[in-house]
Structure 1
């Protein structure tokens, strides 16, 4: 049974580059520990992309950010000294913990032009880990378990599913799956995770008697059947896991405590959070 269907809310963040916000949603703030879910693009950039399109240095607390691309390349730099491009099928997993800052630059697109398409997600840290040391981890595509059956190609981006375990380090039980389905192919979301959702990036699937097209996320009731059938070639992202409790979100800060968010805001406003190495000449002010 489908609990709720959420349609992405598209907005242009500049230069024709659109982002589709799915989570948080007014009637569904989280799915398992996933507290934020955006589709970036798809977009095609001409060479000479203005620097104003880049995501300038900004802060996070209390979460892990997950960047996963289908097309293109993004350069990541952060305040723990990481500098890492991410390409399709790879994972950039950044642990904010007690505080980190980072930037995301479209340097390859600026030089050469090209496409960009991917998913940006945030995973709330359990309360016991919200103040953990910040860190950054990059995983090549070959480090992620892949599987295939008739009409189905899948990759386990993070967590556990179907007896597989991703190399990506997480702080709570979860799953993050990338599926590509041929017409008529069937898949089912992992039954051993309490909260589960699927997002249709491209194509269409049928689930629970409902048709789900591109840009829609279906959240399934705990324990309910969560079988999907592709009605055309489809690209899906499935997420879920164990709930970690209520979280407050303000700007780029996530916490179980409103007071902690106020402290993070004050720290950023006062310049007490270190900027990324090699990228400390500009930053995004507190809104």
Structure 2
């Protein structure tokens, strides 16, 4: 399927690819851009016709397949999701892989018993893309949201998204000398990893789950098995790249209907391709707030 790309976005992994980190790209020249939204201009598949508006996230597009930082893309039909009627191409990329990750993280937590009446849900890395959209989604659905960030100046931003409590990053960043701390969290969506994840595990309520979605502070996890043995805590691995195609449309539909889309303007900044290299460095340094929409046509 050939697509005229209207918008892409900037994700943490895009930053890694743009800066040659992690060996994610094997051959050059290469077109990055993990996400894209656009209009079908030619199709060899019965699934889509010219004029259809579609979204693509995952399937290693932008890694081993050329991605969304271009005006045209040619992708497999099975990788595409029809644009939900409540979204525009631009709002779809305001969500992108980060929004899909937030949606499937919540789905996984709910499958393990999370409901709004269970208590506070912690979002780490809350000012980033996945974090911001997780705060917005959970707050819109009636959850009590605690947002952790290392940028105190963003407290008003996070409260505007629906966070009720702000947790300073340093409260979670230092290793604990106890295998268990006071139980506080009904669930957590963690995009930080490392010491923060280890600390959060020790603070989970009995039977609670952590959706692990990122590694902004590191891939190593040093912890004990005590939270698992004494509090039945679960770590749920979340991968949106190969999330089953038959479940993607439902996740996108939930985002389109559950989110207060008018608040996406609080989260999103639109840039052109010329800005992407600079922002690719900024996102790795934790300097990007919310979501960056990339317009390859400007």
TM class by smaller structure: under 0.3
Task: Determine which structure has the larger strand proportion and give its number.
Answer: 1
TM-score, reference length from structure 2: 0.27
TM-score, reference length from structure 1: 0.27
